[in-house]
Amino acid sequence: MDKGMLSKPTLYLSDFFERKKGKYYDALTTVRTSNDIEHWLRFFLVGVAETAKRGAETFREIINLREKAERRIMTMGRRAPIGREFLSKLYSQPIVNSPQVAKWLDITPQSAITLLKVFEEKGILKETTGFKRNRLFAFKEYIQLFGK
């Protein structure tokens, strides 16, 4: 984060503590009642290791997804450069509408609608509302990586 490469921390131990709530409280109680800090440290370090492993797996899956999406975008012909630019923005905001896309990429509203349609046809985005207007599109495969 210091060097500007990450905007947020990537090691969230709170999920581990929530899933292991009973053991978490047992470890805290053991420290309080028996002054056994080693028990707590072992539990904490297991949490760090498991969380880091899950983070690394998610990162690998993101890289694989990006490569797959970029291969699909390469088939867009002359629109591939704008497609790559759009894809990179989807990683910071994976749910979008056409006005956002037009603004992000400095393109016309119709071009944004067309780009969204192409991304949907290529299986990168999925329309989520079912509406004809005011539609939202989601980068579902990316979002699902964080729900595991």
Q: What is the pLDDT of residues 15-73, one digit of tens each?
A: 899 999 999 999 999 999 999 999 999 999 999 999 999 989 999 999 999 999 999 99
117 domain residue, yes or no: yes
β-pairing, 137-138 vs 95-96, is antiparallel
Q: What is the pLDDT of residue 146?
A: 85
Closest CA to 26 of 39, 14, 38: 39
17 domain residue, yes or no: yes
What residues contact residue 124 under an 8 Å CB cut-off, 6+ apart?
69, 72, 73, 87, 90, 139, 141
53 domain residue, yes or no: yes
What residues contact residue 147 under an 8 Å CB cut-off, 6+ apart?
none
Closest CA to 125 of 93, 95, 80: 95
Please, are residues 105 and 86 in contact by the beta-carbon 8 Å criterion? yes
Domains of the chain: total: 1
37 domain residue, yes or no: yes
Q: What is the pLDDT of residue 1?
A: 45
Q: What is the pLDDT of residues 103-122, one digit of tens each?
A: 999 999 999 999 999 999 99
Whether residue 87 has pLDDT greater than 60: yes
Q: How far is CA 73 from CA 70, 81, 92, in A?
A: 5, 8, 18
Q: What is the CATH number of the domain that holds 130?
A: 1.10.10.10
Mean pLDDT of 112-138: 96
Confidence band of 95 (pLDDT split at 50, 70, 90):
very high
Q: What is the pLDDT of residue 7?
A: 61
Alpha helical stretches, state H, the chain? 13-19, 21-34, 37-73, 80-90, 98-105, 109-121, 140-145
The C-alpha atoms of residue 139 and residue 126 are separated, in whole angstroms, by 7
Of residues 50 and 146, more confidently modeled: 50
- Domain containing residue 42: 13-145
